Structures are given as structure tokens and as C-alpha cells.
Amino acid sequence: DAGVIQSPRHEVTEMGQEVTLRCKPISGHDYLFWYRQTMMRGLELLIYFNNNVPIDDSGMPEDRFSAKMPNASFSTLKIQPSEPRDSAVYFCASSYRDKRYNEQFFGPGTRLTVL
């Protein structure tokens, strides 16, 4: 089975440029999460969707960040304009709601460097 797929795996860009990260969740999963991980702040939840609808975006750092999920098999996280402090690993995860537990399956991450 294919797991969560993210692209690109690595992105190097210059400050001010637009960055788009992509995620394909596991088929059948109804939750999708975007996380950011840095050494200083650890793993932070940015936003999550349920059935393609954004439920909680309180973790989105500022208006430069936006996320969409146009259908059940695709989501994007966009940063415009990018800044050096956005450099981090961005993970996408998906899960299926189960009354017992909701294990999250993570993608391999996108390592973003903003120069």
C-alpha cells in the first residue's frame, strides 16, 4: 500500500518566493494534518482537515501561510512570500477516525530551506 505521499522532498528557495508543498493522503483516510518541525519548536500542528474541510487552522503562523484540500486525495500548503524563518521540515499526515484510537500516518516530509 502506498503511504502518505509528499512532494517535493526538498525545496530550496529564496526569500520572497512562493512555495507550494503537496500531499496525497492514504486512500480512505478522512483526516489530514499539516505539521512543521524545527529543532527549536519541535513538531507543531499547523492545520487539519476532516472530509476536506479545514477544522482548526489556529496553528498557522500568519497570513503568509494557506492550505487547501480541494478533494479527498490532495492537499497543498502554500507560503507566500517565504522567509528564512520558514525553513523547516513540513510533514503531512493522515488518519482514519476510529473510536478506539486515531493513529496518524506521516509522509516523508518536505525539507524547506529559504535563503
Partner 1 sequence: RKEVEQDPGPFNVPEGATVAFNCTYSNSASQSFFWYRQDCRKEPKLLMSVYSSGNEDGRFTAQLNRASQYISLLIRDSKLSDSATYLCVVNPSYDKVIFGPGTSLSVIP
Chain residues that interact with partner 1, rule: CB under 8 A: 31, 33, 35, 42-43, 45, 48, 50, 55-56, 91, 97, 101-104, 106-109
Query: Closer CB to partner 1, residue 74 or residue 105?
Result: 105
CB of 52 to partner 1, least distance (A): 15
| Angstrom distance (rounded) from CA 109 to CA 21 | 10
Query: Closer CB to partner 1, residue 13 or residue 104?
Result: 104
DSSP per-residue letters across 13-79: E-TT--EEEEEEPPTT--EEEEEEEETTTEEEEEEEEETTEEEE-TT--STTEEEEEEETTEEEEEE
| 89: amino acid identity, one letter | V
CB of 75 to partner 1, least distance (A): 16
Query: Closer CB to partner 1, residue 58 or residue 71?
Result: 58
User: 3-state class of 12 per DSSP?
Assistant: strand
Whether residue 91 contacts residue 32, with contact meaning beta carbons closer than 8 Å, is answered with no
CB of 109 to partner 1, least distance (A): 6
Query: Closer CB to partner 1, residue 81 or residue 106?
Result: 106
